[in-house]
Amino acid sequence: MNEALDRLAKQLQLDAPRNEHLRLEFGNACTLRVKHLLEEPAALACLAALGHYLDGTLSRAQLESTATDAVRLANQHQGSRSIDGCGHAAVSATYAVANALCGKALQAAEYAAYASVYGQGGYGAVSDLESFQPEFSWQVSCLASLAARHAPCEGASSYLNGAK
């Protein structure tokens, strides 16, 4: 859905095993932007655990266990009974957390974008692709910055310098 992000991810080879930490960092950054939309304390705890893993205070085994918990939480989320769909922001934010913990950065970004747009205007906003542009732009900038900091490479540098 975010074509510029997809292009950058391909350019950076984001799915490569060597970029796992970058995927986790990017997924974490995206989900932190929609943290305020999470309703379940357990989902907030899962997101916090990802931060602890990234700062080295949580083991790999604990990360994997937390990822399993996050997927379960997302799949069991009750959703929203509101007619405007604003409550679905919490569902999308919870799925963003689950995907971030599983190292599925692009999926986390997509769910975070949906959560952000749902949170601002419900169903109507989601059908307007322009509603996503501020979040999409931020995501591209964020990934490029993280990649440049992680391991300066031609792909991130050229992207940051405007060569899209």
**Amino acid 163: pLDDT:** 43
Q: Which of 95, 130, 90 is nearest to 111 (CA)?
A: 95
Q: Domain boundaries in the chain?
A: 3-160
Q: Looking at residue 147, what is its pLDDT?
A: 95
Q: What is the largest CA-CA distance in the chain?
A: 47
pTM assigned to the model:
0.87
Q: What span, in angstroms and rounded, lies between the C-alpha atoms of 102 and 133?
A: 25
How far apart, in whole angstroms, are the C-alpha atoms of residue 110 and residue 56? 26
Nearest to 101 by CA among 37, 32, 41, 150: 32
Quote the pLDDT of residue 44.
97
In the chain, DSSP finds a helix count (H) and a strand count (E) of: 8, 0
3-state secondary structure string across 138-163: HHHHHHHHHHHHHCCCHHHHHHHCCC
pLDDT value at position 76? 84
Task: Convert the pLDDT of each residue in 71-93 to its tens digit.
Answer: 999 988 666 555 444 557 888 99
Q: What is the pLDDT of residue 161?
A: 53
In this prediction, residue 84 carries a pLDDT of: 45
Q: Which residues of the chain have a pLDDT value below 70?
A: 77-87, 121-128, 151-164
Q: Which long-range contacts (CB under 8 A, 24 or more apart) does 122-126 make?
A: 122/82, 122/84, 122/85, 122/86, 122/88, 123/84, 123/85, 124/84, 126/85
User: Residue 89: its pLDDT value, please?
Assistant: 86
pLDDT at 90: 87
